[in-house]
Amino acid sequence: MVKKVNFGRTNFNTHLIQIMSTKDQIREDVTIRFAGDSGDGMQLTGSLFTNTTALLGNDLRTLPEFPAEIRAPQGTVPGVSSFQLQFGSREILTPGDECDALVVMNSAALKANLSLLKKGGTIIANTAGFDKKNLSLAKYPDGVNPLEDGSLSEYEVIKIDVSKLVKEALSDTDLGYKDIERSKNMFVLGLLYWMYNRPLDSTIDFLQQKFGKKKPEIAAANINVLKAGFFYGETVELFNSRVTVKQAELQPGEYRNITGNEALVLGLVAAARKSNMPLFFGSYPITPASDVLHGLAAHKKFGITTFQAEDEIAAVSSAIGASFGGSIGVTSSSGPGIALKGEAIGLAVMLELPLIVLNVQRAGPSTGMPTKTEQADLMQAVYGRNGESPLVVLAPKSPADCFEMAFEAVRISLEHMIPVMFLSDGYIANGSEPWKFPKSDDLAEINVAFEGPRTDEDSATFMPYSRDERLVRKWAIPGTEGIEHRVGGLEKEDGTGNVSYDPDNHQKMTNIRRQKRDNVAFNIPEQTIDQGVTSGDTLVLGWGGTYGSIRTVVHQLRKEGHDVSHAHLRYINPFPKNFEALLKGFDRVIVPEINDGQLVRLIRSEFNIPAIPINKVKGRPFGVAELKEAIESKLAAEIL
Amino acid sequence: MVETLIDNFIKEHEADLNTLPKYSGKDFSSDQDVRWCPGCGDYTILKQVQNAMPELGLAKKDIVFISGIGCSSRFPYYMDTFGMHSIHGRAPAIATGLKVSRPDLSVWIITGDGDSLSIGANHFVQLLRRNVNVNLLLFNNQIYGLTKGQYSPASPTGSVTKSTPYGSIDHPFNPLALSLGADGTFVARAMDRDPKHLKEMILRSHQHKGTSMLEIYQNCIVFNDAAFELFTDKKSRPQEAIYLEHGQPLVFGKDKNKGVRLEGFTPEVVELGDNFSKDDLWIHDENDKVKAYILSRFFDQPQTDGEGELRFPRPFGVLYADDRPTYDEGVNAQVEYAKVHHGDADLDVLLRGKETWVVK
Query: Do both A265 and A403 map to the same domain?
Result: yes
Model confidence over B198-226: pLDDT tens digits?
Answer: 999 999 999 999 999 999 999 999 999 99
Give the domain CATH number at A107: 3.40.920.10
Q: How confident is the model at residue B308 (pLDDT cuts 50, 70, 90)?
A: low
Check: CB of residue B330 under 8 Å from CB of residue B100: no
State the number of CA atoms in the 13 A half-sphere of B112 facing the CB. 28
Predicted pLDDT of residue A640:
60
> Per the domain annotation, does A448 fall within a domain?
no
Running DSSP on this structure, what letter comes out for residue A377? Answer: T
The whole model's pTM is what?
Answer: 0.93
Give me the number of domains chain A comprises: 3
Average pLDDT taken over every residue of chain A: 93
Distance from CA of A614 to the nearest CA of B (A): 37
Q: How confident is the model at residue B141 (pLDDT cuts 50, 70, 90)?
A: very high
Looking at the partner chain, which of A8, A309, A477 has a beta carbon nearest the beta carbon of B93?
A309
Predicted pLDDT of residue A11:
37
Q: How confident is the model at residue B28 (pLDDT cuts 50, 70, 90)?
A: very high
Asked if B29 reaches chain A (Cβ–Cβ under 8 Å), the answer is no
Looking at the partner chain, which of A57, A439, A478 has a beta carbon nearest the beta carbon of B357?
A57
Q: How confident is the model at residue A563 (pLDDT cuts 50, 70, 90)?
A: very high
How far is the C-alpha of A96 from the C-alpha of A60, rounded, in Å? 10
Query: Do both A304 and A240 map to the same domain?
Result: no
Query: Do both A241 and A328 map to the same domain?
Result: no
Reported as type and span, the H/E element at residue A333 is strand A328-333
**Taking Cα atoms as reference points, which of B117, B293, B307, B323 lies closest to residue B212?**
B323
What average pLDDT does this structure show over A9-16? 38
**For residue A561, how many other CB atoms are within 10 A of its CB?**
7
Beta-carbon separation of B331 and A258 below 8 A? no
Q: What are phi and psi of A612, to 5 degrees?
A: -110, 125
**Taking Cα atoms as reference points, which of B93, B102, B92, B97 lies closest to residue B136?**
B92
Beta-carbon separation of A325 and B331 below 8 A? no
Model confidence over A304-355: pLDDT tens digits?
Answer: 999 999 999 999 999 999 999 999 999 999 999 999 999 999 999 999 999 9
The identity of residue A155, as a single letter, is Y
Paired residues of A259 in beta bridges: A432
Q: Do strands B314-321 and B186-191 pair parallel, antiparallel, or not at all (unpaired)?
A: antiparallel
Distance from CA of B80 to the nearest CA of A (A): 6
Check: CB of residue B67 under 8 Å from CB of residue B81: no
Check: CB of residue A525 under 8 Å from CB of residue A567: no
Model confidence over A405-455: pLDDT tens digits?
Answer: 999 999 999 999 999 999 999 999 999 999 999 999 999 999 999 999 998
Query: Do both A186 and A79 map to the same domain?
Result: yes
Question: Which residues from A are below 8 Å from B99, CB to CB?
Answer: 321
How far is the C-alpha of B221 from the C-alpha of B256, rounded, in Å? 31
Question: What is the DSSP track for A285-327?
Answer: --TTTHHHHHHHHTTGGGTEEEEE-SSHHHHHHHHHHHHHTTS
* B328 backbone φψ class: left, alpha, beta (φ>0; ψ -120 to 50): alpha
Asked if B101 reaches chain A (Cβ–Cβ under 8 Å), the answer is yes
**Taking Cα atoms as reference points, which of A380, A289, A369, A374 lies closest to residue A333?**
A289
**Taking Cα atoms as reference points, which of A331, A486, A501, A507 lies closest to residue A420?**
A331
> Per the domain annotation, does A604 fall within a domain?
yes
- Choose one of A245, A272, A304: the last residue of a domain: A245
State yes or no: pLDDT of A457 exceeds 80.
no
- Chain B residue nearest residue A59, CA to CA: B359
Q: Among positive and negative, which fits the CA dihedral B114, B109, B89, B131? A: negative
ipTM higher than threshold 0.90: yes
Distance from CA of B14 to the nearest CA of A (A): 8
Q: Do strands A571-573 and A392-394 pair parallel, antiparallel, or not at all (unpaired)?
A: antiparallel
What average pLDDT does this structure show over B162-166? 96
Q: How confident is the model at residue A576 (pLDDT cuts 50, 70, 90)?
A: very high
What average pLDDT does this structure show over A278-295? 97
Based on C-alpha coordinates, what's the Rg of chain B? 23
Question: What is the DSSP track for B227-271?
Answer: TTHHHHSTTTHHHHEEE--TTSB-EESTTS-EEEEEETTEEEEEE
Query: Do both A420 and A286 map to the same domain?
Result: yes
Question: Which residues from B are below 8 Å from A485, CB to CB?
Answer: 82-83
Q: How confident is the model at residue A66 (pLDDT cuts 50, 70, 90)?
A: confident
Query: Do both A80 and A228 map to the same domain?
Result: yes
Listed ranges A211-220, A387-396, B10-19; the one with the highest mean pLDDT: A387-396
Check: CB of residue B33 under 8 Å from CB of residue A305: no
- Chain B residue nearest residue A461, CA to CA: B31
How far is the C-alpha of A609 from the C-alpha of A637, rounded, in Å? 17
> Per the domain annotation, does A508 fall within a domain?
no
Question: Which residues from B are below 8 Å from A344, CB to CB?
Answer: 87, 90
- Chain B residue nearest residue A489, CA to CA: B86
Predicted pLDDT of residue B116:
97
Taking a contact as any Cβ pair under 8 Å apart, which residues of chain B between 39 and 78 contact chain A? 59-64, 66, 76-77
Mutate to test the interface with A, among B98, B105, B335, B337 (most CBs of A within 10 A): B98
Predicted pLDDT of residue A15:
38
What average pLDDT does this structure show over B289-304? 87
Which residues lie closer than 8 Å to A263 by C-beta, 6 or more apart? A396, A399, A400, A401, A402, A403, A406, A435
Q: How confident is the model at residue A458 (pLDDT cuts 50, 70, 90)?
A: low
State yes or no: pLDDT of B309 exceeds 80.
no
**Taking Cα atoms as reference points, which of A10, A27, A240, A220 lies closest to residue A120?**
A240
Check: CB of residue B265 under 8 Å from CB of residue B293: no
Beta-carbon separation of B360 and A251 below 8 A? no
Distance from CA of B25 to the nearest CA of A (A): 16
Question: What is the DSSP track for A203-255?
Answer: HHHHHHHHHTTT-HHHHHHHHHHHHHHHHHHHHH--SS--EEEPPP-PPSEEE
Model confidence over B233-255: pLDDT tens digits?
Answer: 999 999 999 999 999 999 999 99
Instruction: Compute the C-alpha angle A246/A109/A60, nearest 5°.
Output: 25
Question: Which residues from A are below 8 Å from B359, CB to CB?
Answer: 1-2, 57, 247, 250-255
Beta-carbon separation of B13 and A480 below 8 A? yes
Give the domain CATH number at A628: 3.40.50.920
Query: Do both A205 and A285 map to the same domain?
Result: no
Query: Do both A234 and A304 map to the same domain?
Result: no
Predicted pLDDT of residue A41:
93
State yes or no: pLDDT of A2 exceeds 50.
no
Domain of residue A282: give its range: 256-442
Specify the higher pLDDT residue, A389 or A249: A389
Question: Which residues from B are below 8 Å from A327, CB to CB?
Answer: 6, 101-102
Predicted pLDDT of residue A382:
98
Predicted pLDDT of residue B305:
55
Q: Which domains does chain B have, with CATH numbers?
A: 5-227+325-339 (3.40.50.970)
Query: Do both A260 and A225 map to the same domain?
Result: no
Reported as type and span, the H/E element at residue B168 is none
**Taking Cα atoms as reference points, which of B254, B245, B314 lies closest to residue B285?**
B245
> Per the domain annotation, does A113 fall within a domain?
yes
Instruction: Give the rounded percent of residues in chain A with a pLDDT score beyond 90.
Output: 88
Predicted pLDDT of residue A22:
43
Beta-carbon separation of B93 and A313 below 8 A? yes
Question: Which residues from B are below 8 Å from A454, CB to CB?
Answer: none
Taking a contact as any Cβ pair under 8 Å apart, which residues of chain B between 298 and 337 contact chain A? 331-332, 334-335
Instruction: Give the rounded percent of residues in chain A with a pLDDT score beyond 70.
Output: 95
Would you call B262 exposed, middle or buried from its count of C-beta atoms within 10 A (0-12, 13-18, 19+)?
Answer: middle
Predicted pLDDT of residue B193:
97
Question: Which residues from A are below 8 Å from B132, CB to CB?
Answer: none
How far is the C-alpha of A380 from the C-alpha of A373, rounded, in Å? 16
Q: What length does chain A have?
A: 640
Asked if B10 reaches chain A (Cβ–Cβ under 8 Å), the answer is yes
- Chain B residue nearest residue A55, CA to CA: B357
- Choose one of A195, A220, A245: the last residue of a domain: A245
Q: Do strands A328-333 and B241-243 pair parallel, antiparallel, or not at all (unpaired)?
A: unpaired
> Per the domain annotation, does A185 fall within a domain?
yes
> Per the domain annotation, does A598 fall within a domain?
yes
How far is the C-alpha of B342 from the C-alpha of B349, rounded, in Å? 13
Looking at the partner chain, which of B63, B84, B105 has a beta carbon nearest the beta carbon of A488?
B84
Question: What is the DSSP track for A440-488?
Answer: GGGSPP----BPPP--TT--SPP-TB-B-TTSPBPB--TT-TT---EEE
Looking at the partner chain, which of A1, A323, A343 has a beta carbon nearest the beta carbon of B87?
A343
- Choose one of A387, A420, A442: the last residue of a domain: A442
Check: CB of residue A165 under 8 Å from CB of residue A232: yes
Beta-carbon separation of B90 and A344 below 8 A? yes
Beta-carbon separation of B331 and A305 below 8 A? yes
What average pLDDT does this structure show over B112-131? 97
Asked if B2 reaches chain A (Cβ–Cβ under 8 Å), the answer is yes
Model confidence over A34-43: pLDDT tens digits?
Answer: 999 988 999 9
**Taking Cα atoms as reference points, which of A382, A416, A369, A410 lies closest to residue A569?**
A382
> Per the domain annotation, does A587 fall within a domain?
yes
Predicted pLDDT of residue A239:
65
Query: Do both A57 and A176 map to the same domain?
Result: yes
Predicted pLDDT of residue A456:
72
Average pLDDT taken over every residue of chain B: 95
Query: Do both A206 and A300 map to the same domain?
Result: no
Query: Do both A421 and A541 map to the same domain?
Result: no
What average pLDDT does this structure show over B292-312? 78
Give the domain CATH number at A368: 3.40.50.970
How far is the C-alpha of A578 from the C-alpha of A573, rounded, in Å? 13
> Per the domain annotation, does A68 fall within a domain?
yes
Beta-carbon separation of B350 and A269 below 8 A? yes
Beta-strand ranges (E) seen in chain B are: 63-67, 82-85, 106-112, 135-140, 186-191, 212-217, 241-243, 251-252, 258-263, 266-271, 314-321, 357-359
